[in-house]
């Protein structure tokens, strides 16, 4: 049976106008207490995501971060291209 996990997009889901979305930290803390792994899967770049996570001390909540940088030749970011990868 697959292990449950939560996969977040970045823009508008984690970050909202340069700040963490209201309630995000509480949700991430609850998921961590339940041992539910979390990942970011986004069309944003690592240069956009990592400084944000570090600035708000959120990096430790995410077990994997997959960005457009991981598939730069696609022109678009496709979940199916990475969905078989083992994140956790």
Q: Is residue 80 part of a domain?
A: no
Kindly report the pTM of this predicted structure.
0.77
Indicate the burial class of 86 (C-beta count within 10 angstroms; 0-12, 13-18, 19 or more).
exposed
**Total domains present in the chain:** 1
pLDDT at 9: 92
Q: Is residue 84 part of a domain?
A: no
CATH code where residue 52 lies: 3.40.50.1000
Q: Look at residue 14 and give its three-state secondary structure.
A: coil
Closest CA to 14 of 1, 86, 6, 3: 6
Range of the domain at 21: 6-75
pLDDT at 75: 53
Q: Is residue 85 part of a domain?
A: no
Are 49 and 42 contacting, i.e. CB atoms less than 8 angstroms apart?
yes
d(CA 37, CA 30) in angstroms, rounded, equals 11
pLDDT class of 12 with cuts at 50, 70, 90: confident
Q: Is residue 19 part of a domain?
A: yes
pLDDT digits (tens, 9 = 90+) for 26-75: 999 999 999 999 999 998 999 999 999 999 999 999 999 999 998 766 55
What average pLDDT does the segment 6-26 reach? 92
């Amino acid at each position: 049976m697959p292990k449950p996990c939560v996969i977040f997009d970045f823009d508008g889901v984690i970050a909202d106008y340069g700040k963490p979305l209201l309630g995000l930290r509480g949700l991430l803390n609850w998921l961590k207490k339940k041992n539910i792994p979390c990942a970011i899967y986004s069309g944003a770049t690592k240069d956009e995501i990592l400084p944000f996570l570090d600035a708000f001390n959120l990096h430790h909540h995410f077990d994997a971060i997959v960005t457009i940088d991981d598939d730069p030749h696609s022109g678009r970011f496709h979940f199916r291209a990475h969905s078989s990868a083992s994140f956790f």
